[in-house]
Amino acid sequence: MNHTAQNCPRRKKIKRQELGSQEESMCIVCEHELWDEHRALEREFFKACKRCKKFPGGSSQGTCYHCFAVGNTIDECPECAGKPWSEEFLEAKEEIEGPDKPLVPF
């Protein structure tokens, strides 16, 4: 079963319209987890995931959310696939966190 906003058992659900047709999207919390791992690459030192060695291995098993979710509960990460993040996610993120701050080099 593919993980979408409509079948996410524990997260806020969203739907989006894309190019005039209705499309299922992943839940906003799952999308934020993936987004945050990409931002961690830009802003902090971290212990790498034991499996992929690319993202922070923040779970108790030392693996990242990408390794947990992609291929299991979701089909793909938008950023890894070269696709945009959903408008709903970006709007909610800005409303809650404010605009992204410019990065300062280490």
pLDDT digits (tens, 9 = 90+) for 50-102: 999 999 999 999 999 999 999 888 899 999 999 999 999 999 989 988 776 66
| Domain ranges (residues) in the chain | 16-97
* 8 HSE (CA, 13 A, CB side): 18
Q: How many CB atoms lie within 10 A of CB 5?
A: 21
Question: Tokens at residue 89, please?
Answer: 């996610």
- First-last CA distance in the chain: 41
Which residues are registered as beta bridge partners of 18? 21
Sign of CA dihedral 38, 39, 43, 47: negative
User: Does pLDDT of 23 surpass 70?
Assistant: no
Residue 42 banded pLDDT, cuts 50, 70, 90: confident
Question: Tokens at residue 57, please?
Answer: 């291995």
**pTM of the prediction?**
0.70
